[in-house]
Structure 1
Amino acid sequence: MFAAGPIITMLGDTMVPEATEHAGRLVGLFIVAGFTLAFLLSHAA
């Protein structure tokens, strides 16, 4: 569980610039929405 934060940071650091290059700035909104949904679902149980 403690490694999740660094792994998410590493993936975001490497994948977000490439994603915004191909899909535009809307990618940021979807990333935030996805992390928010994952956070809410993990704390709902």
Structure 2
Amino acid sequence: MAIARILADPKISAALRAAASEVIDGTPEEVRYFLETGQYEVGR
């Protein structure tokens, strides 16, 4: 659900959109890492 909210934001960068799209079908651990750390490493 949180990743869907990120993807719904039209102002996010192409890199963040690509990373979120890739991880949305990932394991729970991958999703958790992305939400806690990864999204900030990629940048908005």
TM-score higher than 0.5: no
Which is bigger in relative contact order (C-alpha 8 A, separation at least 6)?
2
TM-score w.r.t. length of structure 1: 0.32
Q: Which has the higher helix share?
A: 1
Q: Larger C-alpha radius of gyration, 1 or 2?
A: 1
